[in-house]
Each structure stands twice: as structure tokens, then as C-alpha cells.
Amino acid sequence: MSKGIKSILTIISVFVFFIVLLFIIPAGFVSGDISNIITICTFVLAILLGFFIAASLSNYLSLQTLAAEETANFIALYHAYQLLNPKLAEEIKTKIDEYIVYSFDFEFIDYMDNTWNHFNNVINVINKIKDKNSVIFDNIMSLQMNMISTRQKMVVASRKIMSFSNWFILLILSIAQILLLYSIRTNSLLSIMITVILSSANILTLILLKDIDANNFAEAPFAYGVFQRVLSELGSLPYYVDIDIKAKRIKPSESTYRVGRYSEKFFEIENRHIDIINQ
């Protein structure tokens, strides 16, 4: 099932849930004038949601920028080795290809923590350079220092903003607002529609915040886009994970590409094998 279809089903499920809730929660179950309470509750919820969405989105966009910078450095590093030593260029090409393929074994938010060994394999090729007095060597050193700095920033940017206490506060405010909305509704169609729409929007906004905070908002198209560009520059075949293709998170546009398949559990990397697909 594609992510788009899952999103549509989630939206429909949320709306259906709140429609059913109309028959469970009676109107006016909270006595007295609650207009001031619902105003304050909505105001505080809007401020907190806006703050957390802005903070999470800033982190998410920073992570994307840093990932693009990392892949750009890989391309520049490969071309630098081509100028310096064609033999080492082939070795660095293999190491970068292995790094990128291995990166796809993990979610975008997790791959930095799980690919340090492969990243170090790329960095350590510099030890085989004999002529360390050339300008190109200095450029390679500068590129690798930038890559290490970028990677450290990515580790920080990949961390989630939302904590348990943050989610607890938002959920309490959301539930309170929804219950108050259901209490002040009338039997008119307009009132019922507004109650259901606002309640659904409340929950869907929390779901959106969850996706942004987890850095998986439109994750697959971006991750594949930046990494495939590196493979293209290396002259390697594009690489896709079979699970992502089956889930319709991504659709290969090339006629020839590599697919990583897993015979057992997804994260058991030793069970992965790569096939070449010709369409």
C-alpha cells in the first residue's frame, strides 16, 4: 500500500471516528458558560502546536540541507581522486558505493548512527596517497574535514524534538478542546460539520507533527534523490530497496537498476542480496 493511500485512509478514519463520536458524546454534557475556557484552551494549543511544528520543521529542513551537502562532498571527493590517482579513484568509488547502498538499509533518521564504519572506510583511503604535498591532496583533506563536520551536524539534526512530556501536554489540550467542542455543539448541520472538521484537523495536525519530528515527511523521494545523484556521478547503477518499491514509497524511473532484497528480517543486513533489474 502506497504512503498516499495510507494518508487518505488515515484522514477518512479520523473523520469517521469523530462522526461516530457524535452519537456517543451528548451535546451540553458540560454545564455552564465554557466559551472562555475553550478560547483559552484553543489559544494555548495553537501556540504550542505552532512552536513545535516550526522547531521540528527547522530541524527537518536542516537535515535535508546537510544530507545534500554530504552527497555533494562525496561527488567532489571522487572527482578529486580521479585527478590525483585513477587507481585510488576506483577504490574510493567502491567505498562510496558501499556506503550509499548500506545507508539504504536504515531509515533516513537512523542511517548516520549505523554507517560510521563504512564512512570511515571512505575517509581512510586518503592514507594510501603517496604524494601528500600536492594541491589536490590539500583539497581532499579539506573535503574530508568538511564531511566529518557535516556528519556530526546531521547526527544532531536527526534527533527528535518532541519528548514524552511535550506529547502529553498536547494530547491533554487536544482532548480538552475536542470534548468542549462536542459539548457546545447544537443539532444544526453547520454546528455538527464544524465540530467534526475542527476535531479532525486537531488530530491530523498532531499526526503531521509526528511525521515531521520523525524526519519521515516525504522522506523516501528526497533520500533516493540525493543519493542516486552520487551513484550517477560515480557511474554506478541506481540502487533501490525492494521493500520501498513494494510499499510504493518510490518508483524506479531507470530501465536498469539494482535492487536490494532481504530474505528474512529487514535489518538483518547479512541476509541482503542485490539483483540487477532490466526493464
- The pLDDT score that the predictor gives to residue 223 is 74
Give the mean pLDDT of 143-154. Answer: 90
223 burial type by CB count under 10 A (0-12 exposed, 13-18 middle, 19+ buried) = buried
Band (pLDDT 50/70/90 cuts) for residue 274 is: confident
pLDDT at 171: 95
Query: 203 or 6, which is more confident?
Result: 203
Q: Is the pLDDT of residue 217 over 70?
A: no
Q: Which of 53-62, 67-76, 261-270 is least confident?
A: 261-270
| pLDDT recorded at residue 133 | 82
Tell me the pLDDT tens digit for each residue of 157-203. 888 889 999 999 999 999 999 999 999 888 899 999 999 999 999 99
Q: Quick one: average pLDDT of 114-132?
A: 87
Look at residue 86 and tell me whether its pLDDT is greater than 70.
yes
User: Does residue 243 or residue 74 have the better pLDDT?
Assistant: 74
Q: Map residue 263 onto helix, strand or coil.
A: coil
The answer to whether 223 and 262 have CB atoms below 8 angstroms apart is no
Q: Report the pLDDT value the prediction gives residue 34, as an integer from 0 to 100.
A: 81
pLDDT > 60? residue 134: yes
Q: According to the model, what pLDDT value does residue 102 have? A: 87
pLDDT in tens, 88-104: 999 999 999 999 988 88
* Averaged pLDDT, 263-273: 62
- The C-alpha cell at 203 is 488530530
Between residues 110 and 203, the one the model is more confident about: 203
- Alpha carbon 260 to its chain centroid, in Å, reads 20
What is the average pLDDT value for the chain, to the nearest integer? 86
**How many whole angstroms separate alpha carbon 126 and alpha carbon 136?**
11
CA distance readout (Å), 147 to 15, 62, 131, 144: 46, 15, 22, 5
| Per-residue model confidence (pLDDT) at position 142 | 92
**pLDDT per residue as tens digits for the range 26-67:** 888 887 778 888 889 999 999 999 999 999 889 888 888 888
- Confidence at residue 141, expressed as pLDDT on a 0 to 100 scale: 92
pLDDT of residue 198: 93
Please state the domain extents for the chain.
1-236, 237-279
Cell of 180: 468542549
Whether the per-residue pLDDT at 1 is higher than 70: the answer is no
- Is the pLDDT at 239 greater than 60, yes or no? yes
Which amino acid makes up residue 261? R
Please say if the pLDDT value at position 263 is more than 70: no
